[in-house]
Amino acid sequence: MPIVVRIDVELAKRKMSVGEFAERVGLTPANVAVLKNGRAKAVRFSTLEAMCRVLGCQPGDLLEWSDDAADDAPDGSQDGTGDRADGAAGRAALGRDGA
C-alpha cells in the first residue's frame, strides 16, 4: 500500500508501549497492531486526531505516502481492489455507516 504507517517510530521516540498507547487513544492493542502493520484499509479522522493528541505529533508524522509501494499491483493497490472500500466494513471504517 502506498501509505506507510509510522506509529512504531513515534511510540519508540516517546518510549510508550502499544498497550499504553491503545488505552490512551481508546483502541484495542489488536487494532493498534493492525494500524502499525499497515493492514488497515482506513482510519477515522477522530482516531487520527486522538493518536496525534496522545503522541503530540502531526498526522504527517504518523502517515507517509510512498510511491515505491504502488508498484506491488497493476492498479496501484496491493490487494487489487483499487480505490474502492470493502463493503459495510470499509464504509464504517471511513465513518460512513449508511447515514
Give the whole-angstrom CA distance, residue 14 versus residue 17: 9
Domain assignment of residue 99, yes or no: no
Domain assignment of residue 20, yes or no: yes
Is-above-0.85 flag for pTM? no
User: Domain limits at 45?
Assistant: 3-93
Left, alpha or beta for 13 (phi > 0: left; psi -120 to 50: alpha)?
Answer: alpha
Statement: residue 82 has pLDDT above 50: no
Cβ–Cβ < 8 Å for 35, 43: yes
Give the whole-angstrom CA distance, residue 72 versus residue 60: 23
Domain assignment of residue 46, yes or no: yes
Given this model, what pLDDT does residue 67 score? 87
Domain assignment of residue 59, yes or no: yes
User: pLDDT tens-digit profile of 27-37?
Assistant: 999 999 999 99
In total, how many domains does the chain have?
1
Domain assignment of residue 86, yes or no: yes
